């Protein structure tokens, strides 16, 4: 490769790669912030068309609208005191996962697991779990 080719490749990488990383971190930040605020509507903006949802007393595959309503009720019954993101990473298939702790004002605690996959509409939340600790 000559210098022109290397310069062109470098320019492409500096132009396209920051946008890829920015989108991913924006999705992660949006999901984290929505959980911290116990905002089911904001969280639902990141849902895939269907989502595998597990919360106490409710488990299944739901449409994004159904899952939003279930989470609204969950957040109403379990007001947030604090959400702490403890770990995030990438799976071998390119999915992103988040693990955190959701603490309520009544001192209940839930381990939170979120699985984000890249789909035709960009990064979307495919699985969300709130499991009693």
3-132: in CATH 3.40.605.10? no
Q: What is the pLDDT of residue 3?
A: 55
Query: Using one digit for the tens of pLDDT, what is the confidence trace for 8-29?
Result: 554 444 444 444 444 445 888 9
pLDDT number for residue 5: 47
Q: For 73-120, what is each residue's pLDDT tens digit?
A: 999 999 999 999 999 998 888 899 999 999 999 999 999 999 999 877
Compute the distance between CA of residue 111 and CA of residue 7 in angstroms, rounded to an integer: 47
- pLDDT for the residue 93: 87
Higher pLDDT, 65 or 8: 65
pLDDT surpasses 60 at 1: no
DSSP secondary structure letter of residue 79 = -
What's the confidence (pLDDT) of residue 98? 95
pLDDT of residue 16: 45
Question: What residue segments make up the domains of the chain, in order of their start?
Answer: 3-132
**What pLDDT is recorded for position 30?**
94
What does R_g of the chain's alpha carbons equal in angstroms? 18
Map 97-130 to HEC letters. EEEEEEEECCCCEEEEEEEEEEECCEEEEEEEEE
pLDDT digits (tens, 9 = 90+) for 35-62: 999 999 999 999 999 999 999 999 999 9
d(CA 129, CA 58): 10
């Amino acid at each position: 490769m000559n210098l022109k080719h290397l310069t062109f490749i470098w320019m492409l990488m500096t132009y396209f790669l920051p946008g890829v990383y920015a989108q991913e971190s924006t999705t992660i930040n949006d999901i984290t912030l929505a959980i911290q605020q116990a905002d089911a509507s904001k969280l639902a903006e990141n849902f895939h068309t269907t989502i595998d949802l597990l919360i106490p007393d409710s488990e299944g595959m739901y449409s994004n609208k159904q899952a939003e309503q279930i989470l609204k009720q969950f957040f109403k019954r379990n007001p947030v005191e604090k959400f702490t993101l403890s770990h995030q990473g990438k799976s071998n298939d390119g999915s992103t996962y988040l693990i955190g702790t959701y603490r309520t004002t009544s001192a209940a605690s839930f381990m939170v697991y979120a699985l984000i996959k890249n789909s035709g509409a960009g990064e979307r939340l495919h699985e969300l779990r709130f499991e009693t600790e």
